[in-house]
Amino acid sequence: MQDDKFFREIQDNCWDPETRIKECNHHHVDVQVLSTIPVMFSYWAKAQDALDVSKYLNDHIADVVRRYPKRFVGLATIPLQDIDLSVKELHRCVKELGLAGVQIGSHVNDLNLNDPHFYPFYEEAEKLGAAIFVHPWDMMSKEKMQKYWLPWLVGMPAESSLAICSMIFGGIFEKFPKLRVAFAHGGGSFPATIGRIEHGFNVRPDLVAIDNPINPRNYLNKIYLDTLVHDPMMMDYLMELFGPNQLALGTDYPFPLGELQPGRLITSMPYTDDIKERLNSGTALEWLGLEKARFL
């Protein structure tokens, strides 16, 4: 439900690990990274209530990973509207539950990801070596996009670009250089507009470069993207722009905007076997800070 309106019916592959393993086997997926559906971030809620929800979700994901350690990796969710609670929960999730990192939204209420409010979170993630996965949610201008599923088709790509630009222009990767951050859906509209973004940086530094004087293009080898772009031409463009070392298989499983045959796009591309292996697993393992031997 969305408010009082029916949105979609979900199946047990949203929560049942045995169903997921069966479907992963069907698609030849050996290991899956688990994260909470973004509508459960609960940034809108009272902080303590959001923490309770986060703990419930994190404990569930950690239990699934414990039961099937060679099939799943877990990411936490944290109540980022309260940074102290978030830092404590992230520490618990990594140190006690063994989760590999955390998934966060493309913004938190009225705050973009460059806001100093998030600095203690970034500091803790850096200290713990926790991977960060940024996923769009609560899309901008959704009140203007009531038809045609436009929040998902237009708003989501824009949200990813908002998150990337906010972190770059806000100097987050300069202040916290050890962060390993991945962005969903091939970075949304960011890759297609990097020329415009760089041009704006060059011609109006008085507006764009006020917090970070470094060209945004310099960060292309410092961030990770998934490959969920549904288009061979876009896949080739990402390969040229970012290279295979920054790209990892993404599926958005089990939702309809995801890759319904996981890995099909990468398999269909005329890349070498070594590059396909990097895209299918190598980059993800590097971003997660994990060794392949763990899953053998």
Q: Which two tokens stand for residue 293?
A: 């031997």
| The pLDDT of residue 16 | 95
Q: Whose CA is closest to 66, among 91, 94, 98, 18?
A: 98
Burial of 12 (0-12, 13-18, 19+ CB in 10 A): exposed
The tokens describing 237, both together, are 């463009």
Consecutive H or E run containing 237: helix 232-241
The answer to whether 50 and 43 are in contact (CB under 8 A) is yes
pLDDT score recorded for residue 8: 79
- State the angle between helix axes of 190-203 and 232-241 in degrees (0 to 180), rounded to the nearest 10: 40
Q: Which domains does the chain have, with CATH numbers?
A: 12-290 (3.20.20.140)
pTM for the model stands at 0.96
* Per-position pLDDT tens, the chain of length 296: 777 888 778 899 999 999 999 999 999 999 999 999 998 999 999 999 999 999 999 999 999 999 999 999 999 999 999 999 999 999 999 999 999 999 999 999 999 999 999 999 999 999 999 999 999 999 988 889 999 999 999 999 999 999 999 999 999 999 999 999 999 999 999 999 999 999 999 999 999 999 999 999 999 999 999 999 999 999 999 999 999 999 999 999 999 999 999 999 999 999 999 999 999 999 999 999 999 999 99
pLDDT, residue 5, reads 82
